[in-house]
Amino acid sequence: MDDARDHSQILNRLADIELPAPPDWQPLLITSGIITACLLAIVTWLYIRRRKTPHADNKVTGYASPALTAQIKLQQLINNWQSHAISEREAAYQLTTLLRLGMNLPQFTPDCPAHLASEQQAWHETAMICTSLRYQKTSTIRLSLEIFQRAEQWLIKTSQHHGQRI
């Protein structure tokens, strides 16, 4: 009988024990929700900020045309060339690259693009000057401002030509 009495005393003492309250997850859920919302807002802001700005010349895609982008870079190239920040050879490389990309040509060749057919002689002359400067270590031929102005006119015509096709 003593065992029964001991057990009942132990059970009486255990009956007085109160279990701890269950954990409150509400602060953790609110904090994680706020962090998620902040991260989403930051990612959205960065995406919008890095997006290219629309330009009126290319209403279909909403982005600046390659010809327009090349025109802007051509102005930087002219400034660098005039200030002698780059060599004649480097200027010729950059000029041909701008013309190729701005006019969406697979390769810069002496063959004039179809939409510039009236400029065949000037195109061929420019291609020969650039080729001479690019592929000969020393060349007596020099670039002139006229060549850069021609390139700018060709990029403008290309921009207009592509604008009419859209």
pLDDT given for residue 26 in this prediction: 93
Q: Sort 5 into a burial class: Cβ within 10 Å, 0-12 / 13-18 / 19+.
A: exposed
pLDDT band, residue 75 (cuts 50/70/90): very high
Asked if 78 and 155 count as a contact pair (C-beta separation under 8 A), the reply is: no
Asked if 65 and 159 count as a contact pair (C-beta separation under 8 A), the reply is: yes
Q: Residues 6 or more apart from 70 whose CB is under 8 A from it? A: 98, 99, 101, 102, 103, 155
Q: For the segment 20-69, what is each residue's pLDDT rounded down to a tens digit?
A: 888 899 999 999 999 999 999 999 999 888 875 554 444 444 456 788 88
